[in-house]
Amino acid sequence: MAGQRGRSSDQGSRRRAASRPTGPARPFSGGPALPGVVAVGLPLVGAVVDELSGPGMGVAFAVCAVLGTGLAAALSTRRGWWWVLAASPLVVLGVTAAVEFSANSGKYQGNALATGSAKWVVHGFPVMAQAAAAAVLVIVARVVLERRRQQHG
């Protein structure tokens, strides 16, 4: 019929946009690289502090790894949460290996490197689990708070 229009594709896209949450996707500003910098930077600082204060990774590294992973989860978007969870054990192992090998490169030659690597995995496992648990805790808290805001807002 003349003068009548059907549903335009514009209306469909407006409806989809209206159904999306209107709040910011990232709770803090700083850009998309900030969670990665925090997730790697804090454990690296803790590992260096522990290596300078004595041999091996200690409490400073564990605390910094857990804080770094938790902060990265807090700074990430929903899409980034998977990356934080998946990368946290690899970051812990990578930072441990890099700092230990850099500080004691003469000690880790030949078969000693394989032995050292196994030691890094075994001693790093509790820190890996704690870091992943911190990320899960932050993600659950963010989801619960977001749902409460949607219900009461």
pLDDT digits (tens, 9 = 90+) for 63-94: 999 999 999 999 998 888 999 999 999 999 99
Q: What's the confidence (pLDDT) of residue 24?
A: 44
- How many Å apart are CA 93 and CA 127, to the nearest integer? 9
Task: Judge contact between 74 and 138, C-beta under 8 A.
Answer: yes
Instruction: Tell me the Ramachandran region of residue 3: left when phi exceeds 0, alpha when psi lies from -120 to 50, beta otherwise.
Output: left
Task: Judge contact between 91 and 67, C-beta under 8 A.
Answer: no
Q: What's the confidence (pLDDT) of residue 152?
A: 82
Q: What's the confidence (pLDDT) of residue 18?
A: 53
- How many Å apart are CA 37 and CA 1, to the nearest integer? 59
Q: Which residues of the chain have pLDDT under 50?
A: 22-24
**What's the pTM value of the predicted model, to 2 decimals?**
0.76
Q: What's the confidence (pLDDT) of residue 55?
A: 77
Task: Judge contact between 124 and 92, C-beta under 8 A.
Answer: yes
- How many Å apart are CA 88 and CA 78, to the nearest integer? 16
The DSSP code sequence of 9-36 is HHHHHHHHHHHS--S-SSSS-S-TTHHH
Phi and psi, residue 125, nearest 5°:
-60, -45
111, two tokens: 């078969």
Q: What's the confidence (pLDDT) of residue 132?
A: 96
Q: What's the confidence (pLDDT) of residue 8?
A: 54
36, two tokens: 């990665």
